[in-house]
Amino acid sequence: MPDFRVHCLPAAKDSAELTLSPEESHHLISVNRARIGDRVIAFDGRGTEWTSELIGDRRQGAVLRVLATHTRPPLPYALTLAQALPKGPAMDAIVRKATEIGADRIVPLETERTQVHLDGERSDRKVDKWRIAALEAAKQCGNPFLPEIAPVQRLNDFIAGAGAGHVELKLIASLQPGATSLMPVLADFRARHGHAPHSVAWLIGPEGDFTPDEVSRALAAGFVPITLGPLVLRCETAAVYALSVASYELSDQVTGDR
């Protein structure tokens, strides 16, 4: 992989040249110290990548000459992470890891036990920060797709929205008796529908987990309780674990459906 990756939204996908934003130009020229003639991969976060050459090193508007254009297909499944807001900087790390794993959408949630409450401008600033974290992670891991970072919302609103039919399989991480592992749930879905799910949503709770009432509402809305093992995981560990297991199992199963 080339040393330099930048994010760019060109006016047209067949552009011969790309002009970077001031932020991306500064990062490429001042931080990464790219020089005229260096190869750079630009990507739009939607699957298109441009192999390019740096021909203008202005720190407020670096220019790339396009050498080749590539369109990479998305993953054959879409993973949504609905994460109850943790304390401190843990959400930044969760966003980065979710981007590396290939999550399609990340939804920050306020729950009854959430200790972080964001309103108005503070919420907007946090979402902007998480979008930057996702962009940085995509650059580092070579993911050409940026996840959608949804606005902070209440758990009840997410449950109602997820139940609208655009998510095929809805899961909630659970330590309660009766929670099952993911594999039999996927097998049951395949038996009933004839294919593996193409979209999956994971609900991950805060420190102290969801309240019994929140769990009841999620189950009533069709979420299936899934165990992440016998140990109590920190929420950031649970998010990575859940996404990783789902990604691994779905990669195998969706490929098998083809």
**What is the domain-level CATH number for residue 16?**
2.40.240.20
> What's 48's DSSP letter?
E
Q: Which two tokens stand for residue 219?
A: 């189950």
Question: Average per-residue pLDDT in the chain?
Answer: 91
Q: Is the pLDDT of residue 258 over 70?
A: no
Q: Which two tokens stand for residue 150?
A: 């949804």
Same domain, 55 and 183: no
- CA dihedral 83→89→92→93, nearest 10 degrees, is -90
Strand order from edge to edge, sheet including 39-43:
5-7, 39-43, 48-56, 63-71, 17-19
Q: Which two tokens stand for residue 257?
A: 């459906």
Same domain, 233 and 162: yes
Q: Which two tokens stand for residue 163?
A: 């139940």
Same domain, 120 and 212: yes
Confidence of residue 116 (pLDDT cuts 50, 70, 90): confident
**What is the domain-level CATH number for residue 100?**
3.40.1280.10
Q: Which is nearest to 92 in space by CA: 121, 126, 138? A: 126
Question: Are 211 and 112 within 8 A, CB to CB?
Answer: yes
Same domain, 120 and 63: no
244: phi then psi, degrees, rounded to nearest 5 = -65, -45
Strand 39-43 to 5-7 pairing: parallel
Mean pLDDT, to the nearest integer, of 111-131?
Answer: 85
Q: Is the pLDDT of residue 145 over 90?
A: yes
Tell which of 71, 89, 115 closes a domain. Answer: 71
pLDDT at 256: 54
pLDDT at 166: 81
Same domain, 154 and 227: yes
Question: Are 48 and 69 within 8 A, CB to CB?
Answer: yes
Mean pLDDT, to the nearest integer, of 64-93?
Answer: 93
pLDDT at 142: 93
Same domain, 22 and 95: no
Same domain, 114 and 41: no
Same domain, 51 and 114: no
**Counting beta carbons within 10 angstroms of the beta carbon of residue 125, is it exposed (0 to 12), middle (13 to 18) or buried (19 or more)?**
exposed
Confidence of residue 93 (pLDDT cuts 50, 70, 90): very high
Question: What's the helix, strand, coil split of the chain in %, to 5?
Answer: 35, 25, 40
pLDDT at 163: 60
Confidence of residue 158 (pLDDT cuts 50, 70, 90): very high
- CA distances from residue 198 to 59, 166, 203, 246, 251 in whole angstroms, order as listed: 42, 10, 17, 11, 10
Residue in the block written with tokens 């997820």: 162
Tell which of 26, 43, 71 closes a domain. Answer: 71
Same domain, 218 and 252: yes
What residues pair up with 52 in beta bridges, in sequence order? 40, 66
What is the domain range of residue 198? 78-257
Q: Is the pLDDT of residue 58 over 50?
A: yes
Express as a percent the part of the chain with pLDDT over 90. 78
Same domain, 56 and 120: no
Same domain, 20 and 109: no
Confidence of residue 164 (pLDDT cuts 50, 70, 90): low
Tell which of 71, 97, 121 closes a domain. Answer: 71
d(CA 26, CA 126): 22
Question: Are 167 and 179 within 8 A, CB to CB?
Answer: no
Q: Which is nearest to 144 in space by CA: 246, 51, 61, 237? A: 51
Q: Which two tokens stand for residue 149?
A: 């970072």
- CA dihedral 61→62→65→69, nearest 10 degrees, is -80
Q: Is the pLDDT of residue 161 over 90?
A: no
pLDDT at 160: 87
Same domain, 91 and 32: no
As for how many domains the chain has, the answer is 2
Mean pLDDT, to the nearest integer, of 204-214?
Answer: 92
